[in-house]
């Protein structure tokens, strides 16, 4: 659905994008992760047809961003991280204005307005002035604006920025509903925990370069460094000493009755270490891998890049 190749962009001497290659499958909720200034906003603006790259190419739904910008805008809904609203318009008028801009008028526009306000749970605010809405409500209204022409692709730049916890949950539930409707969604964020239970795919960007991308479950698994917790009936010191000497293993912490450690390799290495610990006389009560977070994965990849 979305693909880029060798995408480059500079602002003066600063390289915002350095050969970015993205692959977003149709129907995916793609979490675009990176620190502030990593190049996320620049990428989304190029995909939305608002910014011309200095090199490379980008396609959305078969349309070339450079050769067919009008076609791209027909299939893309873009929600920027900072947006403006017309304070002197009512909520319903605001959506009708954008519907008209897309050539939708009359009963079709009014029906669309009502449907979108229902989707973002603002139907009761249709006659309210936009400037009376809370930030969370304005955020949902701008999401409705991005959907006004029924785009196949949604590009959302930090959609939960500045929202309170309840408003973030509301936005997340709306995005889940849009996913069920078959939209392909790209969400940029530097708050990694917000994306872990929402995205199907993830791409991690740092200093304009893509560190890694793929399905979320593969990003959090694989033959990379993994963390484990082992609980035992005594002998934790002896077990920690054994683990510390094991190839690819490192003790993170040890307290009475428990050892936390990291280990590289696959299932065979995990099983072999457990056998060695048990054969050495440690009574193991619990031995399990801890769930790796997106933040752990991002930090790990960034360290690998720095060490390369």
CB 198 within 8 A of CB 172: yes
The CA angle 138-142-143, to the nearest 5 degrees, is 115
Lowest mean pLDDT among 27-31, 177-181, 262-266, 297-301: 297-301
pLDDT digits (tens, 9 = 90+) for 107-166: 999 999 999 999 999 999 999 999 899 888 888 999 999 999 999 999 999 887 777 788
What does the pLDDT average to over 211-231? Answer: 76
CB 146 within 8 A of CB 98: no
Give the other-Cβ count within 10 Å of 274's Cβ: 15
pLDDT computed for residue 299 by the predictor? 67
What does the pLDDT average to over 70-85? Answer: 86
DSSP 124: G
pLDDT computed for residue 93 by the predictor? 95
| 288 confidence band (pLDDT: 50, 70, 90) | confident
Give the separation between CA 250 and CA 73, rounded to whole angstroms. 51
Of 175, 110, 167, nearest to 133 by C-alpha is 167
In sequence order, which residues have a C-beta less than 8 Å from that of residue 248 and are 6 or more positions away? Answer: 263, 264, 265, 269
Tell me how far the alpha carbon of residue 241 is from its chain's centroid: 39
pLDDT digits (tens, 9 = 90+) for 229-263: 999 987 888 999 999 999 988 898 888 899 999 88
Predicted TM-score (pTM) of the model is: 0.75
Reply yes or no on domain 226-291 having CATH 3.30.70.100.
yes
pLDDT computed for residue 223 by the predictor? 44
CB 90 within 8 A of CB 126: yes
pLDDT beyond 90 at 300: no
Integer CA distances (angstroms), 184 to 8, 33, 171, in order: 23, 17, 16
For the chain, which residues make up each domain, given as ranges?
2-219, 226-291
184-189/153-157 β-pairing:
parallel
CATH T-level assignment (fold) for domain 2-219: Rossmann fold (3.40.50)
How much is the mean pLDDT over the chain?
87
pLDDT computed for residue 224 by the predictor? 57
């Amino acid at each position: 659905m979305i693909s880029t190749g060798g995408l480059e962009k500079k602002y003066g001497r600063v390289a915002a994008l350095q050969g970015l290659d993205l692959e977003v499958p149709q129907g995916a909720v793609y979490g675009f992760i990176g620190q502030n200034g990593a190049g996320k906003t620049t990428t989304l603006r190029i995909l939305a047809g608002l910014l011309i790259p200095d090199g490379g190419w980008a396609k959305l739904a078969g349309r070339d961003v450079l050769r067919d910008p009008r076609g791209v805008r027909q299939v893309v809904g873009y929600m920027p991280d900072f947006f403006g609203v017309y304070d002197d318009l009512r909520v319903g008028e605001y959506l009708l204005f954008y519907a008209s801009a897309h050539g939708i008028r009359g009963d079709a526009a009014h029906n669309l307005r009502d449907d979108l306000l229902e989707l973002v749970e603002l139907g009761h605010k249709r006659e309210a002035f936009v400037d009376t809405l809370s930030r969370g409500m304005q955020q949902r209204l701008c999401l409705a604006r991005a959907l006004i022409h029924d785009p196949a692709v949604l590009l959302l730049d930090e959609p939960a920025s500045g929202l309170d916890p309840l408003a973030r949950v509301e936005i997340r539930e709306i995005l889940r509903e849009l996913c069920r409707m078959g939209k392909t969604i790209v969400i940029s964020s530097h708050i990694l925990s917000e994306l872990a239970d929402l995205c199907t795919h993830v791409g991690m960007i740092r200093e304009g370069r893509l560190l890694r991308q793929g399905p979320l479950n593969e990003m959090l698994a694989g033959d990379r460094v993994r963390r484990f917790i082992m609980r035992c009936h005594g002998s934790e010191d002896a077990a920690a000493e054994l683990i510390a000497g094991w190839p690819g293993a490192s003790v993170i912490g040890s307290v009475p009755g428990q050892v936390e450690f990291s280990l590289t390799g696959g299932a065979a290495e995990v099983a072999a270490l457990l056998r060695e610990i048990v054969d050495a006389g440690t009574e193991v009560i619990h031995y399990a891998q801890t769930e790796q977070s997106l933040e752990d994965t991002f930090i790990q990849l960034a360290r690998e890049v720095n060490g390369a």
